[in-house]
Structure 1
Amino acid sequence: MARKPLKFTTAFGLTVMVLGGLLELGAFGYHLGSMVSAETVFTGAIVLTIGQAFFGIDNLLLSLLLTFFSAVGAGYYVLVQTSSWLWAIVAVIAFFAFIVTLFGFRSSIRKKHGLW
């Protein structure tokens, strides 16, 4: 069984996902509730999402789990900014829906790309 060559986008996506996850997890423990922590968690959420887009995870459950983890990071940022749980929950739902929609567009483009 021959191994497939590692693509740049796959390696980049995996590296960026690991970096984003470490940023999010590390920032939760660093001055919890401060703006520095919130900004770092939000940065980690964006980086994790970008890595997920480059890696192209085929497993739906894992993809949704990573998207939810990123959405929680965005919600934490809003919670620290506003001190309102309502706005934080709205931000989590909105971020999650936005990313799922974007990934849905990506998959439909990839399917139709063969027809171009």
Structure 2
Amino acid sequence: MTYYLLSVVQPTGGEPPPPDELDEIMRSVAAFNDELREAGVWVFSGGLHAPETATVLRPEDGEVLITDGPYAEGKEYLGGLCLIRAGDLDEALDWGRKAALATTLPIEVRPFADAH
């Protein structure tokens, strides 16, 4: 089994969905997480606050500089993540498809390097 990171790609700016739509999305995400647990592939999942809440630590000349985030400006940011164990990339992509449908957002699927 290999560990895979399912990253939720959140667009910057824009308004969140109306409360009734957001409630439905959150129910779908909860059902997706339950399905992951029942299948025995779930390791961890969670949402993240907006990038403006980040703090960046950068090494420089033997010291560490601390600045308010985000690390990079962009049109998208990491909005949440799910760590799973899957037998192969195809299985991980199947879970990624389910995550995309549950969240209504793009999902990036990446294997961990040399982690089994």
Shorter chain as normaliser: what TM range?
under 0.3
User: Which is richer in strand?
Assistant: 2
Q: How does the TM-score come out when normalised to structure 1? A: 0.26
